[in-house]
Amino acid sequence: MKIVTVEAPVNIAVIKYWGKRDEELILPINDSLSATLSTDFMCAKTTILASPLLKEDVFWLNGKQQSLDNPRLQNCLKEIKRRTNLESPILNWNISICSINNFPTAAGLASSAAGYAGLVAALAALYNIEGDITGVARVGSGSACRSLYGGWVQWNKGITSTGEDSIAHQIAPLSHWPEMKVLILVVNDERKKYSSTSGMKKSVETSELLPFRANTVVPKRIEAIKEAILKKDFETFAEITMKDSNSFHAICLDTLPPCVYMNDVSHAIVDVVHQYNAIKNSHKVAYTFDAGPNACLFLLESEVDEFLSVINYVFQPPTDLKTLEYIRGIKTEPKIIKD
């Protein structure tokens, strides 16, 4: 018998991935770039047990048994096993996968990223796989490939049709910009109406703005935001981050039927950020929203207390915001906590 437990972090994209050129291999139409958050606050904790005594493979997520008849899960298992050169009998043992997210699942807070990064990191430890595994996490959920590194991470879309160059790499470690903090404001923790997978598929099929964003806008933004991160230029970083979130949600609205992920409270948060920045005469806080209403805010440590007091004054938890979570750090790769 062998057991591995992994804690995997979520990541928040500042340049969003939205749209695939290959649905099966999960190959994106544009590069994306993200910050990996601390597992201290939000993580998927995944334990995999392999044993000759197990009669069949089983998968539990958040305490509920799931079907293993999930092509993405199967693709990850297939790809991981293809990469092992072990002759070990463990490869033929059945496995039990048990994963728990300590934050809302499928609510636009990157649970698929933490979930598949944790699954693949645990499988790799179980079968002693070495080398890049971001391409394996990618076939589970695109955004998951970025959660395998800490700090600032870029996912190259790649140009091949087979996807071997569609992998993630770290552009700067967390220690490069330790003053950078992230606040997550949970507006609604319910499951979103349309998954990221179905939303982006519809966008590729129906949005005429999407090719412009993917081919013309994003490549320039990737270069510019990388430079801003490397120079620790918060003003430029913030401007690009907010613009990219807005352009991603514009694509969602240009989709037919539209994918409406942000709600009135999300828009009120956008207003508060812009008003705060106007008073300060510079971008001190940057918002970004994934495929859901919840806000991810980037700001420097020196700004956290003052900005939080504004948020607590304007919004009355739990009426406006179901919960407020303050993520005070970005760090770590998936951690193997038991092996």
DSSP string, 300-324: EHHHHHHHHHHHHHHS-TTTSSSEE
Residues 63-102 that bind ligand DP6 (CB under 6 A): none
| Alpha helices in the chain, H assignment, sequence order | 71-82, 111-126, 134-138, 196-206, 210-212, 218-231, 234-253, 264-280, 301-314
Name the one range near ligand DP6 by CB under 6 A: 13-21, 37-45, 52-60, 183-191: 13-21
- Helices vs. strands in the chain: H and E counts, helices first: 9, 16
Residues 126-185 that bind ligand ADP (CB under 6 A): 141
Query: Looking at beta carbons only, is 196 or 277 nearer to Co ion?
Result: 196
Binding partner selected for residue 13 from ligand ADP, Co ion, ligand DP6, none, CB under the kind-specific 5 to 8 Å limit: ligand DP6
Please report the beta strands in 26-175, taking only residues with DSSP state E, as ranges in sequence order.
Answer: 27-28, 32-36, 43-51, 58-61, 64-66, 94-101, 152-155, 168-172
Name the one range near ligand ADP by CB under 6 A: 74-82, 101-109, 294-302, 314-322: 101-109
Give the chain's largest Cα–Cα span: 65
**Of these, 9, 17, 19, 239, which contacts ligand DP6 (CB under 6 A)?**
17
Angle at CA of residue 69, ends 68 and 72, nearest 5°: 90
Could you tell me which residues come within 8 angstroms of residue 143 by beta carbon, excluding any fewer than 6 positions away?
A: 11, 13, 17, 32, 34, 110, 112, 113, 155, 196
Residues 94-133 that bind Co ion (CB under 5 A): 112
Residues 196-225 that bind Co ion (CB under 5 A): 196
Name the one range near ligand DP6 by CB under 6 A: 12-20, 60-68, 179-187, 278-286: 12-20
Residues 197-256 that bind ligand DP6 (CB under 6 A): 197
Q: Show the site string, 281-320: x = touches ligand DP6 by CB under 6 A, - = not.
A: ---------xx-----------------------------
SS3 label, residue 152: strand
Least Å distance, CB 34 to Co ion, is 12
CA distances from 330 to 12, 34, 184, 259, 283 (A): 10, 11, 12, 29, 20
**Of these, 61, 98, 172, 250, which contacts ligand ADP (CB under 6 A)?**
61
**Of these, 80, 95, 109, 270, which contacts ligand ADP (CB under 6 A)?**
109
Q: Sign of dihedral through CA atoms 321, 285, 169, 135?
A: positive
Least Å distance, CB 236 to ligand DP6, is 20
Are 68 and 57 within 8 A, CB to CB?
A: yes
Contacting positions for ligand DP6 (CB under 6 A): 13, 16-18, 26, 32, 112, 141-143, 196-197, 290-291
**Binding site residues, ligand ADP, CB under 6 A:** 44, 61, 99, 101, 105-113, 115-116, 119, 141, 195-196, 290-292
